[in-house]
Amino acid sequence: MKFKTISLPVLFLCIFLTFLPHVLQAGPGEGWGLALGSGPLKPVDTNTGNDYQTTSILSDALDYQWSLGQSFSFSFFGTENGGRAELPPKPKQEYYKTGLIGAELRAWFGPFFLGIHGGQYYLLWAESLSSYSGIAQTGGSGYSLGFELESGWMIVANSEQSGTFEFYDMPDQKVEGTRILLGYRWR
């Protein structure tokens, strides 16, 4: 009688699935959360569709979440994303920073969630880290999906779409794109 060998990835998958129900029993946790990540959340010319981003640097988020029973949660949050960009009418301004202060409602399916959010976005341009100019604000919205473990660790993917930022000396712009964040919630 011949025995076939089980590949190592299949063995690890079987072990992981054995312990998975015990690990994934989280739901909406309450408390402060902090996350770091990156992604192509970029400024775009609203008239031409030109993408000004040349490189993404870092994204961060801070929130406070309240549980609304077993299936929903509500949170207030603030987030920032920065990077390098080329803005044709102002070539010396090669850095941008964008952020959002808003609120999010999440629907939970065990440890997994789907959320919708909205709030006030800002976009500013800078020549250096100490010289900012060209700041504008507008509303916007987005959605998120991810999961949060019982231990507090979470992975979140956000999709963002701001309204139009109107500048007096630059083309009108919007911020759009996605971000992936890895974080932790203190429960």
Under 8 Å between Cβ of 83 and 59: no
| pTM over cut 0.85 | no
- Mean pLDDT calculated for residue range 80-88: 82
Residue 47 has pLDDT above 70, yes or no: yes
Give the tens place of pLDDT for each residue, 89-103.
Answer: 666 777 888 999 999
Chain centroid to CA 77: how far? 11
The alpha carbon dihedral of 18, 22, 105, 156 has a sign of negative
Structure tokens at 11: 């063995």
Predicted pLDDT at 25: 46
- Mean pLDDT calculated for residue range 143-152: 92
- From first CA to last CA, the distance across the chain in angstroms is 54
